[in-house]
Amino acid sequence: MTTPVIELVGVEKAFRGVPVLRGVDLAIQAGQTCTILGGSGSGKSVCLKHMIGLMQPDRGHVRVDGEDVTGLSEVGWVALRRDFGFVFQGAALFDSLSVLENVAYPIREHLDWTEDQVRARVAESLEAVGLSGIERLLPAELSGGMRKRVGVARAIALSPRVILYDEPTTGLDPANSRRIGELIQQLQHDLDVTSVVVTHDLDLCFRISDRVALLRDGTIVLDGAASELADRSAPELQRFLEGTEPLPPAWAEPDDPKQEKHSDG
């Protein structure tokens, strides 16, 4: 077995004394599209934020390329995030900035490029998500599906090795949800990236995934190849489909805007 690109080992996390992750073990291999499936408030996004250093575990370890990055300093994470793209649930675009400036944000943060180089990379990123020529528009002028794709364009602007997607189809109609799924697959093929997707959208999950991990009660209760689970007959998947997931816990809150801005790179 090759060294995983990302690995969570016995990760535990609690908020306000309420356990959310109770010993999560998950290893993501290079080139995979791995979907973490689970109900609202199950801790899926918490897992994702541990992978990029936006949260630190109370116990357990986070490894990137085999290196233990648990407790890594913010300076260390800034350098490491250069290889990660993060697509936030609400796209997390800056309302006062144009599409150009939103997509250029991580480039300006991490690279000392000329303005011509920045604009060229923004144009390439927008073209990759099917949105050429919209640089001057503001987020308020975009549809929900377009905002999601601009968020993806920003995530790929630094040519990352890994893209993390937090509920990429939430709030979208079926047609736009399908387009986002197709985009994830296209980028996986074109950019040869490792993708981690958190979602409760079962159709998206089995449309895009190589591997599926089901998170319940703070642990991974099912982990296997998507092709083997596609008939949805596994008992834990049946339980998920039957809607017996718990209600979101008291700790579940909207994403912190500071975290969103902080991780644009």
Q: What is the pLDDT of residue 250?
A: 46
Give the C-alpha separation, 87 to 79, whole Å: 18
Q: What is the pLDDT of residue 151?
A: 92
Residue 265 confidence (pLDDT) above 50: no
Contact of 40 with 251, CB cutoff 8 Å: no
- Domain limits of the chain? 6-243
Residue 92 confidence (pLDDT) above 90: no
Give the C-alpha separation, 198 to 265, whole Å: 19
Share of the chain above pLDDT 70, in %: 90
Residue 234 confidence (pLDDT) above 80: no
Q: Give me the sheet containing 162-166, strands edge to edge.
A: 84-87, 162-166, 194-199, 33-37, 211-216, 219-225
Give the burial string for 230-247 (b: 16+ CB within 10 Å, else e): eeeebeebeebeeeebee
- Note the CATH architecture for domain 6-243: 3-Layer(aba) Sandwich (3.40)
Give the C-alpha separation, 231 to 252, whole Å: 31
Q: What is the pLDDT of residue 67?
A: 94
